[in-house]
Amino acid sequence: MSEPLVLGIETSCDETAVGIVKGRKLLANVISSSVEEHARFGGVVPEIASRAHLEAMQQVISAALIEAKVSLQDIDAFGVTAGPGLIGALLVGTSAASGLALALDKPLFGVNHLSSHIAVDSLDEDRILEPAIGLLVSGGHSSILKVSNLATNVEVLGATIDDAAGEAFDKIARLLELDFPGGPAIDRLAQSGNPDAITFPRGLTHAHDLQDHRYDFSFSGLKTAVSRYLKETPGAVRADVAASFQEAVVDVLLTKAISAAQAEGFESLIIAGGVAANSRLRTQAEQRCQEAKIRLRTPPKALCTDNGAMVAALTSLMVQAGETPTGVGFSADSSSGLERLLWR
């Protein structure tokens, strides 16, 4: 099937999201977020997220169908995030998708949340898909991926060994008494700060670290350094702290990702995930990729955070590649890595 009409459901965390694509064309992307309900706790509360998914699911599906101007009967295949994520939240999505697929007798694909983030880059009918290095930077994941084929062959070259970039942003935002989620809050504050004001450490970038952790990330030391600086510097300029912290994260992410592209001989770098919406990361990525003669691809900011379009996009690629559907009755996996692209 060259241009399947696919509905994708994403419920791995605090967004209830449904996307509809036809082939590689985006028709609808509807999101209901429960982030405001979590803000007073300073982080996502799993039980609140699961209940919010239950309440929003039917309306979000209906809104996506209206936006795409199609009916459920028109859908050729359903896709759903099967992991990783919060298990209760995942179960809401997988149950909804399984019910739809069973009732309509349509194929169902349980797909990987992480590779879905990279797959959103495929939603451009005019561009030929080619192998690329993927820099995935979402709330709980920071990974460098060798993407030979989005639907069938994604290899992890490196990953975080402690805090992911998104987690570090949230933790530093709390130290700076900023709003949740921390990423956008730090990005805004850093606009008025000096990124060179404070030299914070770049984790796993020294020669002895690169021997065993060439493409791995560690942001726990950076978090500790910022915390210590704030305690020892009562009059610290918060904007400078935010900008300098953000610069350290961006520097490490891009240095390792560009190094991987050069070492693997790939001419393209895809940056995806929630942190890919960060303005400093996007600006520096454009500059440094241009200097390294690497083609940079970043999704629109609206498609960086969790969304249903990315799930539908990956599912569509799998349908076009002739992959066997998952079918109903599979189990969600909250801790799955990228070794599992498609649930069987």
With a CB cutoff of 8 Å and minimum separation 6, the contacts of 29 are: 17, 18, 19, 20, 64, 67, 302, 303, 307, 308, 309
Q: Given this model, what pLDDT does residue 128 score?
A: 86
- Band (pLDDT 50/70/90 cuts) for residue 338 is confident
Please give the mean pLDDT across all residues of the chain.
Answer: 95
Q: Is the pLDDT of residue 1 over 80?
A: no
Q: Given this model, what pLDDT does residue 324 score?
A: 97
Q: Is the pLDDT of residue 140 over 90?
A: no
Is residue 338 within 8 A of residue 84, CB to CB? The reply is no
- For the chain, the structural domain boundaries read 5-124+304-320, 132-300
Q: Given this model, what pLDDT does residue 138 score?
A: 84
Architecture of the domain delimited by 132-300: 2-Layer Sandwich (3.30)
Share of the chain above pLDDT 70, in %: 100
pLDDT tens track for 76-85: 999 999 999 9
> Given this chain, do its domains 5-124+304-320 and 132-300 carry the same CATH topology?
yes
Q: Given this model, what pLDDT does residue 35 score?
A: 82
d(CA 95, CA 329): 9
* Range list of β-strands (E), the chain: 5-10, 15-22, 25-33, 77-83, 108-112, 132-137, 142-149, 153-159, 268-272, 295-297
d(CA 330, CA 112): 13
Q: Given this model, what pLDDT does residue 30 score?
A: 98
Q: Given this model, what pLDDT does residue 271 score?
A: 98
User: Tokens representing 6?
Assistant: 């696919």
Give the number of other Cβ atoms within 10 Å of residue 290's Cβ. 11
Give the number of other Cβ atoms within 10 Å of residue 287's Cβ. 11
Q: Given this model, what pLDDT does residue 186 score?
A: 98
- Band (pLDDT 50/70/90 cuts) for residue 41 is confident
Q: Average pLDDT, stretch 266-284?
A: 97
d(CA 168, CA 205): 17
- Quote helix, strand, coil % in the chain, to nearest 5: 45, 20, 35
User: Tokens representing 14?
Assistant: 């605090």
Q: Average pLDDT, stretch 128-132?
A: 92
CATH 3.30.420.40 fits 5-124+304-320, yes or no: yes
